[in-house]
Amino acid sequence: MNSSFNKLLTFKTLITASMIVLFSINLLLTERVDALSDSRQLVLDAWTLVNEGFYDPGKFDEIQWKRIRQKTLQKQIETSEEAYSAIEDMLRPLDDPYTRVLRPKDYELLKSSNFGSEINGVGLQLGEDDANNVKVISTLGGSPAEEAGIVSGDLIETVDGISSEKLGLAGTASKLRGESGTKVLVELSSESGEIREVDLERRSVDLRPVRTKRLRDDSHTIGYLRITQFSESVPKKVEEALQELKEKEVEGLILDLRNNSGGLVSSGIAVADSLLSEKPVVETKDRNGIKDAIISQKETSFDGPMVTLVNKGTASASEILAGSLQDNERSILMGEQTYGKGLIQSLKSLGENSGIAITVASYLTPKGNNIQGQGMTPDKILDLPDTSDYGSTDDKWVRNAELFLGSLLEKEEVSAQTIELNYEEIKS
């Protein structure tokens, strides 16, 4: 009896121990699957957001988008970094450099540049050309890049010895950013093919998106308004600047959008709203081919004659503003051909404080002109050296704009005098 009881007890003990071991193994496996799921969920979330929002769904069939998802999830994805790399590989066939994953640091920096007034880095705004080379769109005023003589059109060849081809657009931009006081070695090639290296020290760059002053000569008073980028605060700052210039009784306005690489499209549209009265600002085209025209409000902040300065660093939201002013014959454009970015991105948040930028629409100017890859042609080309100190007394582009506005104002005065003379003749 005791022997049978002991055997039964031993058997029960073994079964219980086995169950505990199996339960422990299952618990460990469950925890591991959950950990994997967190990283894989980043990939799935990114795929879903792009699938629902990307402006050209026809591209999905061309690249077998669903199959790309399956292949991506078969990869080893155990960490957040592996997830980000997998997302980058997944997005590459879309052939759109503006649809990109943003690691936590890059996501935070992008948000701070759109909503804040300072950013740490070298002051370069980057894009890609038709051959997928990383190209300088513009440099920020007072930045290390501007001081080093880097100009729009330069190509980034390497950053700290790593090729931009390997890094890609987002990776190149990320590697250029960093803590103030640290240095980065950049190899560039100019449009003429000259190769050079520059050692740049990162620092906090004061974006100062809106700058203004009054220009006076013997005959007229002109307002000068420079917008360096379109962040969230810009529309209000522009309103305040225009009000200040009106109080100084300016007769005309020079709007300077040189090296303004864009920012928030909504801010660019809001500024156009301040200068146009019940006119079309832009027409956006979404993934369903639906065109949506945005019309400005009736009230304007300034309705006097204008000249808008643009160059090859004028891109995206600044091209929307310039295009709306040109097509509505509100302002002539002076300068050189603009950059040609006619795509609109939406910024979405992913897990672990990361994000993803997705191209969700393209835009057309009020007259239906597609800017993407082409840019805009000014009414008056300025074949003059561009200055590094915009708005200074040595700025020949501003001086040309002043002279043109002066001639417009003189014509208006002559026209007004003629009307007065004709009125006097009628009275007599």
pLDDT, tens only, 268-308: 999 999 999 999 999 988 888 878 889 999 999 999 999 99
Q: Which of 342, 211, 336, 199 is nearest to 282 (CA)?
A: 342
**pLDDT tens digits, 316-370:** 999 999 999 999 999 999 999 999 999 988 889 997 789 999 999 999 999 999 9
The catalytic position among 327, 354, 386, 395 is 327
pLDDT > 90 in the chain, percent? 52
Predicted pLDDT of residue 23: 40
Q: Which of 261, 305, 272 is nearest to 405 (CA)?
A: 305
Domains 2-94 and 118-205 share a fold: no
- Tell me whether residue 411 is one of the annotated catalytic residues: no
Please tell me which residue, 419 or 136, carries the higher pLDDT value.
136
The catalytic position among 154, 341, 354, 386 is 341
CATH number for region 2-94:
3.30.750
Give the CATH superfamily of 210-411: 2-enoyl-CoA Hydratase; Chain A, domain 1 (3.90.226.10)
The catalytic position among 164, 316, 324, 331 is 316
Structure tokens at 3: 């022997």
Domain segments of the chain as ranges? 2-94, 118-205, 210-411
> Which CATH fold would you assign to the domain 118-205?
Pdz3 Domain (2.30.42)
**pLDDT tens digits, 153-198:** 899 999 999 999 888 887 888 888 888 889 999 999 998 889 999 9
Is 27 a residue whose pLDDT tops 70?
no
- Tell me whether residue 218 is one of the annotated catalytic residues: no
Please tell me which residue, 133 or 119, carries the higher pLDDT value.
133
pLDDT band at 414 (very low <50, low <70, confident <90, very high): low
Q: What mean pLDDT, rounded, does the chain reach?
A: 84
- pTM for the whole structure: 0.76
- Tell me whether residue 192 is one of the annotated catalytic residues: no
Q: What value does the mean pLDDT take over residues 4-11?
A: 43
Q: What value does the mean pLDDT take over residues 364-390?
A: 89
- Widest Cα–Cα separation across the chain: 140
